[in-house]
Chains A and B, each alone.
Chain A
Amino acid sequence: MSEIIRTESVVKQFGSFRALDEVSVSIPRGSVYGLLGPNGAGKTTLIRIINRITAPDSGRVLFDGRPLAAGDVARIGYLPEERGLYKKMKVGEQVLYFAGLKGLSRHDATNRAREWFTRLGIEGWWNKKVEELSKGMAQKVQFVTTVMHGPELLIFDEPFSGFDPLNAEILKIEMLRLRDEGATIIFSTHNMASVEEVCTHITLINRGRAVVNGTLEEVRAQFGSVEERVVVRQSMSMNEIFIKAVSE
């Protein structure tokens, strides 16, 4: 399986604080890649580096086998944890603006936006201002801005937070559909149940270091099993692996 993203010994320092310390991850094409770790571990910094929002102090990032370049951001879709839209702008204009920034022509953007709006059942919102929408509604609009330029790499940072269970389910179905259509997904979350459900690979970051790396099976094998607590031997849950790795 070829890699879509590969980071090599990425270091990022803020003053005296080392946010990322020699982080190397390899994200295979077509995977759903879980990026886990406690708050403040450096996940968002790594995601920002992959998005070219900030540059690493040393190390490098390869996109599709060559160094990540400015033009590559058009092939990435990013849903940050801190959601944000222009409050005074109309939904339709806003979606077209972000698509334009990703390099889509106005005509293509309009067609695709209409398509996505229909799919998510939000056709009527085109001329609404964002400030008139509820938080959950705004999140749907934000999801459309993330995916509508058809990126090969999707980065979702806590995508389900703020959604009711029904809408979270709709979102998950859409995510998996995008994966089936060939997109690679980087998925950062604290929700271990959803990691076990959808992820194929994970990296666990703690205090700026990648402490656990690999496919779900490899990680489970690496951490062995829990003997003392249960009669029937079973793999550690992701939750347990998370806690064990972080406390080590």
Chain B
Amino acid sequence: MSKIGLVIQREYYERVRKRSFLITTLLTPLLMVALILAVGWMSTSGSSEAKIIEVVDASGLVAGKLESAGTITYRPSTRSLDEIRADHGDTWGALVVGADVLTRPDNVQLYTWSSSTLETEMAISRAISDILETEKLKTYDIENLDQILAAVRTSVQIKAFKEDEESGEVKESSSVLSMVLAYAFGFIMYMFVLLYGVQVMQGVIEEKNSKVLEVVVSSVRPFELMMGKILGIACVAVTQFVIWIAVLAVGGALAVNAFVPADLMAAAQGMSAGGMTPEMTAALGSAADPDAIAALGNLMDVDYLVKMLVVFVVYFVGGYLLYAAMFAAVGSAVDNIQDSQQFQLPVTLPIIFGLIGMISAMNDPNGAMAFWLSIIPFTSPMVMVARIPYGVPGWELALSIVILVATFVVIVWLAGKIYRVGIFMYGKKPSFKELAKWITYR
């Protein structure tokens, strides 16, 4: 086996065989799912406590029409506020509506015995507003007002189609899914580049500290050693990523089978097979959210998924090589992790900037900012993978990849120069100026 192959092999096995690798690889997807479920659970069950509200209505318009909904139960009251105060029993609060509420809509007070929430207050004010609006409409003496109101009530649902300019293909797309995938890809990219880049740096510092470097470089060229380490760790990252995707694919398929209604599934399958026909949409009625169908359809479209994964891997490899080489140079220049802080900053800053850029670029995935951030090689790995679910013109993708590759070739070459000198420098922390000088050493 070639020397660089041996180095890659060592770096790979040393990490993959560690118990901590197995644990983080298996636990991270579980933790992510748990986190999503926890957030979902908290947002739905946040106000699970039943709230009984006594309504003291001086106007006589509101109390009878308030419909209890969710956790809020309205109870029209004959008592005065003071009487309720004296003995509030199981009631959560008292709602006092003024007699002139129709002309003075701010004459409504809510008294509670435990702290109130914005959510509850908004629900109450929405309910009262609806009643008052209807009351006001009645004063215009319109015939069949109730039927008219029911007939005009409309809920618009947009179905989005994405036209591919090159192939002329039209696909129904889900903007919710695009957004979720964009954030997921951008964030995973950020995490991987940072996490594994730092691992490269730590590996270099460790070798330098244990003085094993001198023995190794008497057999292997420093550049081969550096590349071996970078590539070995890249293999670890890809292994982890593949395991995660496999877990997600299996888990996702199980979840879809278990939780998604059959008619929705059929619609989604029909869509990914050949597009939705109007009859199918009609058959489903308005019960199904078209975005959910499109999302499911997109997720079952293997071509779409494979294309995104391939782009992700290409950018991961490019972005990781770019940053890992810089991290290796930083590691070679210092004696311990503490000393590395100063040099780490210029390396981590563009990664963080890429993440922030990705988030703001998502407001307009095809705008000027998104375009430039996905062309500049230091931010393109994060921003481009986030743009992919929205569709990116082929030439932009090609240009961005070419620039990324060209940059990493230059950076790897420069990092190799610094690394070669840095690994034998012990004792004093070099300045940036000295790092630049090392590049010119023979």
Q: Which residues of A contact B (CB under 8 A)?
A: 14-15, 48, 51-55, 57, 70, 73-74, 76, 78, 80, 82-89, 97-98, 100-102, 142, 145
The winner among A53, A86, A100 for most chain B CB atoms within 10 A is A53
Known: A85-B210, A86-B210, A89-B14. A100 touches B215 (CB 8 A): no
Q: Label chain B's interface by main secondary structure.
A: helix
Chain A residues within 8 Å of B3, by CB: 101
Q: Output the least CB separation between A122 and chain B (Å).
A: 18
**Partner of A53 from B14, B217, B437, B442 at Cβ < 8 Å:** B217
* Cβ contact within 8 Å between B442 and A55: yes
A-B contacts, 27 listed (Cβ < 8 Å): A48-B214, A48-B424, A52-B218, A53-B214, A55-B442, A57-B442, A74-B219, A78-B218, A80-B211, A80-B214, A80-B215, A80-B218, A84-B211, A84-B213, A84-B214, A85-B210, A85-B212, A86-B210, A86-B212, A88-B14, A97-B6, A97-B10, A98-B216, A100-B1, A101-B6, A101-B7, A101-B220
Distance between B242 CB and nearest chain A CB, rounded to angstroms: 25
Assess the B214–A102 pair: CB atoms within 8 A: no
Contact indicator A76/B218 (Cβ below 8 Å): yes
Given A85-B210, A86-B210, A88-B14, verify A78-B215 contact (CB < 8 Å). yes
Query: In the complex, A115 Cα to B420 Cα: how many Å?
Result: 35
Closest chain-B Cβ to A243's Cβ sits at a distance in Å of 27
Which residues of B does A touch, CB under 8 Å? 1, 3, 6-7, 10, 14, 207, 210-222, 424, 437, 441-442
- Whole-angstrom distance from the CB of A52 to the nearest CB of chain B? 8
Judge whether B10 and A51 touch: CB under 8 Å.
no
Listed from nearest, the 9 A-B pairs whose CB atoms lie closest are A84-B211, A84-B212, A101-B219, A82-B211, A78-B218, A80-B214, A51-B218, A84-B210, A100-B6
Task: Write the chain B residue with the least CB distance to A80.
Answer: B214
Do the beta carbons of A102 and B219 come within 8 Å of each other? yes
In the complex, the answer to whether B210 meets A73 with C-beta atoms within 8 Å is: no
Whether the pair B218, A15 counts as a contact (CB closer than 8 A) is: no
Q: Which residue of A lies closest to B437 (CB)?
A: A15
A24 to chain B, nearest CB (A): 20
Given contacts A78-B214, A101-B216, 10 further A-B contacts (CB under 8 A): A52-B218, A54-B424, A57-B442, A80-B215, A86-B207, A89-B14, A100-B6, A101-B220, A102-B219, A145-B215
Across-interface contacts of B14 in A (CB, < 8 A): 86, 88-89
A84 touches B442 (CB 8 A): no
Distance in angstroms from B324 CB to nearest chain A CB is 20
Chain A residues near B442 (CB-CB < 8 A): 55, 57
**In the complex, what distance in Å separates the CA atom of A55 from the CA atom of B421?**
11
Listed residue (B14, B214, B221) with the most chain A CB atoms within 10 angstroms of its CB: B214
In the bound complex, CA of A84 to CA of B206 (Å): 11
How far apart are the CA atoms of A89 and B10 in the complex, in Å?
A: 10
Q: A3 CA to B142 CA in the complex, in Å? A: 116
Cα–Cα distance between A145 and B212 once the two chains are bound (Å): 12
A contact face: mostly helix, strand, loop, or mixed:
loop
How far, in angstroms, from A101 to B437 measured CA to CA in the complex?
31
The closest CB in chain B to the CB of A45 belongs to B424
Q: Complex formed: what's the CA distance from A213 to B219 in Å?
A: 29
Instruction: State A185–B132 Cα separation when bound (angstroms).
Output: 102
Of B3, B215, B218, B220, chain A has the most CB atoms within 10 Å of the CB of B218
Are B215 and A98 in contact (CB-based, < 8 A)? yes
- Nearest CB of A to B337, in Å: 16
Q: Check A73 against B10 for contact (C-beta < 8 Å).
A: no
Residues of chain B lying within 8 A (CB to CB) of residue A15: 437
When the two chains form the complex, which single residue of A73, A86, A87 contacts B218, counting CB atoms closer than 8 Å? A73
Chain A nearest Cβ from B419, distance in angstroms: 13
- Minimum CB–CB distance from A135 to chain B (whole Å) comes to 12
| Cα-based distance from A82 to B218 in the complex (angstroms) | 13
Shortest Cβ distance from residue A165 to the other chain B in the assembled complex, whole angstroms: 24
Residues from chain A with Cβ under 8 Å of B220 in the complex: 101
Chain B residues, Cβ within 8 Å of A142: 215
Q: Whose C-beta in chain A lies nearest to the C-beta of B7?
A: A101
What is the minimal beta-carbon distance from B305 to any residue of chain A, in angstroms? 38
Report how far A83 CA is from B221 CA in the complex, Å.
19
Report the bound CA distance from A49 to B441 in whole Å: 15
A54 and B221 CA atoms in complex are apart in Å by 9
Q: Which residues of A contact B7 (CB under 8 A)?
A: 101
The smallest C-beta distance from B8 to any residue of chain A, in angstroms, reads 12
Contact A84 B437 (CB under 8 A): no
Residues in chain A near residue B10, CB distance under 8 A: 97
Give complex CA distance A98, B6 in Å. 9
Q: Among A51, A100, A101, A145, which residue has the most Cβ atoms of chain B within 10 A? A: A101
Q: Which residues of B contact A83 (CB under 8 A)?
A: 211
Bound-state CA distance A83–B214 (Å) is: 8
CB contact between A87 and one of B210, B213, B219, B222 (< 8 Å): that residue: B210
- The distance in angstroms between the C-alpha atoms of A87 and B210, with both chains bound, is 7
A84: chain B residues within 8 A (beta carbon)? 210-215
Which of chain A's residues have a CB closer than 8 A to the CB of B213? 84
CB distance from A12 to the nearest CB of B (A): 9
Determine the distance from Cα of A142 to Cα of B216 in the docked complex, in whole angstroms. Answer: 12
Name the distance in Å between A232's Cβ and chain B's nearest Cβ. 45
Least Cβ distance of A152 to chain B in Å?
Answer: 15
Measured between beta carbons, the chain A residues less than 8 angstroms from B424 are 48, 53-54
Please report the C-alpha to C-alpha distance between residue A88 and residue B209 in the assembled complex, in whole angstroms: 13
- Measured between beta carbons, the chain A residues less than 8 angstroms from B219 are 73-74, 98, 101-102
A101 vs B225: C-alpha distance in the bound complex, in angstroms? 11
Cα distance A57–B10 in the bound complex, in angstroms:
33
Q: Are A53 and B218 in contact (CB under 8 A)?
A: yes
Chain B residue at smallest Cβ distance from A105: B1
Q: Which residues of chain A are near B441, meaning CB under 8 Å?
A: 14
Residue numbers in A under 8 Å from B222 (CB-CB): 53
Tell me which of B1, B214, B217, B221 contacts A82 (CB under 8 A): B214
Among A52, A82, A102: residue with most chain B CB under 10 A = A82
A102 — which chain B residues lie within 8 A by C-beta? 219
Q: Report A71 CB to chain B, min CB distance, Å.
A: 11
Question: Measured between C-beta atoms, what is the minimum distance from B436 to chain A in Å?
Answer: 12
Instruction: State in angstroms the CA–CA spacing of A168 and B297 once bound together.
Output: 74
